[in-house]
Structure 1
């Protein structure tokens, strides 16, 4: 694929007050976004995952998380489309979240940031598009937490887009996945530095957040990948009972824990985990099967083998429900040992499905 330079705009927009599903109102909401390509081209909205952000392409902050999938001549071609990615509501990369100043108090929200849902995130994105004078979308695409937003976009605003591409997601978060979220939350709130969410940047619950990340990493990728990659390689004597790493896999997990703790906010992590727990397209809509009949846009659903959290079989069943009304949904299962994280790598395996879908 080509690698020509793309025009990139990184901005923060004010969208005003936002009434949440809970009935609470967030005042003076700001949404950070990245826009790639020409502002007058058909628009694709990208929705990011749990610890992602708006930077799908390289900036001064580092490499983009969908570098190689998006750009001029790439699978999502920024010469044909404008690609807009928002930092999700509740995030910590410029969008209103726990690190933001509450305009009503003049202090950071911290642990007082209200609970939000996936539907709140989508409503905030819709308001941003109005500010940007984007009146329709060609496509909404995203994986994991991003895939949850895609599914909600198709029901909250069914006529606003032509195509939906939910990736590595299920129509409702399973009890198994909620259980892992509960463990991650427990790790954070058990850290003495959490202080009910009222911590400083100097004394933050970095250890608890790091443990949550270690737990997450074991679910994002498959046992096959971990076993092939590390093969019980030792760094120290295995019989040490200290918390020093004895095996390479431990070193890797500690590294991932430290890296996330340095760039992500613990309260944002808690906020987004709770939002993920709320994910159920059937909530208030008569159940998943009934809700699946409400989609009007064409849909390409992608699942990944060995995805512990979002089994492809569940998405396949969902597409069958969608197709009971009309044959508008396609499903492909991508064979990979990366498991859930397959949507962040090996683009050559599943990018062609996007190309075919866009060419229809």
Structure 2
């Protein structure tokens, strides 16, 4: 019997939605992709990172950003599961965001698009899943900003998923990472083409967004990786190689991403606190009923590994069924998008096995 895989790229229309800030968006649309076994009810929700989108799972013609982890016969096996990835509220890849048309004015929202929070993103995802007829998840998984959403999922909707897998993330953003974010934010805001956020239909602050991405790439990788890639390859031309790499990364992002969305997401991460309004982190964690696998990267600069270790320890003290995996990689924070062999098997076992810790 041949396995029948489903592959859907579509949108969910939610109608009006009130954000945490109190403002109401009159029409909210969320883009999603759904891939996997058409006959299974084992659904895994993937939460994307800062500049991610719905296309986590691709093919040879159009690769996905998590192809090394998800696919037929891979660590998250599409023969067993259906995977759904949503572009979050405030995004620029098909979901309602600053570049969307405000139905009240018939113009792009631009600077008028309100602040969104990680909790807003999760509440919208929850409503979209219910609209799609999905009332239960096998797991929620994500890294970085996506990992923040995973933690919120576990606290906000504890009975909705069996397992959650936060990777290279934290209950809050570290102060040093807030500092990196502020430098990137100012690069965008100070670009004359930003125009207060009302630059549509123009390209907007291309230079500022490019610089912000360069700053991000430095925090996502490590010194040993830069030394190996640039200094050891060509000692006579190291500076040119570094500059070329950073400018390439900046240009690549501006060709697919919106500066206003970038700013909204930086703000969402900077202001996020899993313990906010819940009596602190330890009290918030007590709401979790899902099984938790936290994954940390020793060389991570952006989300220091101490944050993942601390979260696991808090879970253990609260009696949460929690396990922890930590690995080392010169890719640093970006290792969760690159070195799947260092953590994929742990995810596979966590998903496949009954809890036996």
TM tier relative to shorter chain: over 0.9
Query: Given the alignment, which residue of 247, 252, 272 partners 1:254?
Result: 247
Structure-2 residue corresponding to 1:273? 266
Structure-2 residue corresponding to 1:150? 150
Query: Given the alignment, which residue of 283, 302, 307 partners 1:309?
Result: 302
8 A Cα contact 1:44 1:140, kept in partner: yes
Unaligned runs of 5+ in 1: 239-245
Structure-1 residue corresponding to 2:21? 22
Matches within 5 A, 1:163-174: 163-174=163-174
The C-alpha deviation readout for 1:266-312, integer Å capped at 9, x for no partner, is: 00100111111121101111111221222110000000121011111
8 A Cα contact 2:17 2:28, kept in partner: yes
8 A Cα contact 1:5 1:72, kept in partner: no
Shift of residue 317, structure 1, vs aligned partner: 1.4
CA distance in 1, matches of 2:352, 2:108: 46
8 A Cα contact 2:289 2:320, kept in partner: no
8 A Cα contact 2:288 2:320, kept in partner: no
Q: 1:75 to 1:232 in 2, by over 3 A?
A: closer
Shift of residue 203, structure 1, vs aligned partner: 4.1
CA distance in 2, matches of 1:152, 1:198: 31
Q: Could you say what secondary structure the match of 2:108 adopts?
A: coil
CA distance in 2, matches of 1:284, 1:220: 30
8 A Cα contact 1:9 1:35, kept in partner: yes
Higher deviation after alignment, 223-232 or 302-311? 223-232
Q: Could you say what secondary structure the match of 1:57 adopts?
A: coil
8 A Cα contact 1:232 1:247, kept in partner: no
- What's the TM-score, normalizing by structure 2? 0.94
Shift of residue 313, structure 1, vs aligned partner: 1.8
Q: 1:285 to 1:248 in 2, by over 3 A?
A: same
Matches within 5 A, 1:58-97: 58=58, 62-97=62-97
Q: Could you say what secondary structure the match of 2:227 adopts?
A: helix
Unaligned runs of 5+ in 2: none
Q: 1:95 to 1:31 in 2, by over 3 A?
A: same
Structure-2 residue corresponding to 1:182? 182
Structure-2 residue corresponding to 1:115? 115
The C-alpha deviation readout for 1:119-178, integer Å capped at 9, x for no partner, is: 000000011101100001110000000000000001111111110100000111111111
The C-alpha deviation readout for 1:219-271, integer Å capped at 9, x for no partner, is: 00111111111117669989xxxxxxx42011000000111011100001001
Structure-1 residue corresponding to 2:339? 346
Structure-2 residue corresponding to 1:229? 229
8 A Cα contact 1:189 1:196, kept in partner: yes
Q: Could you say what secondary structure the match of 2:187 adopts?
A: helix
1:45 is aligned to 2:45: yes
- What's the TM-score, normalizing by structure 1? 0.93
CA distance in 2, matches of 1:104, 1:61: 39
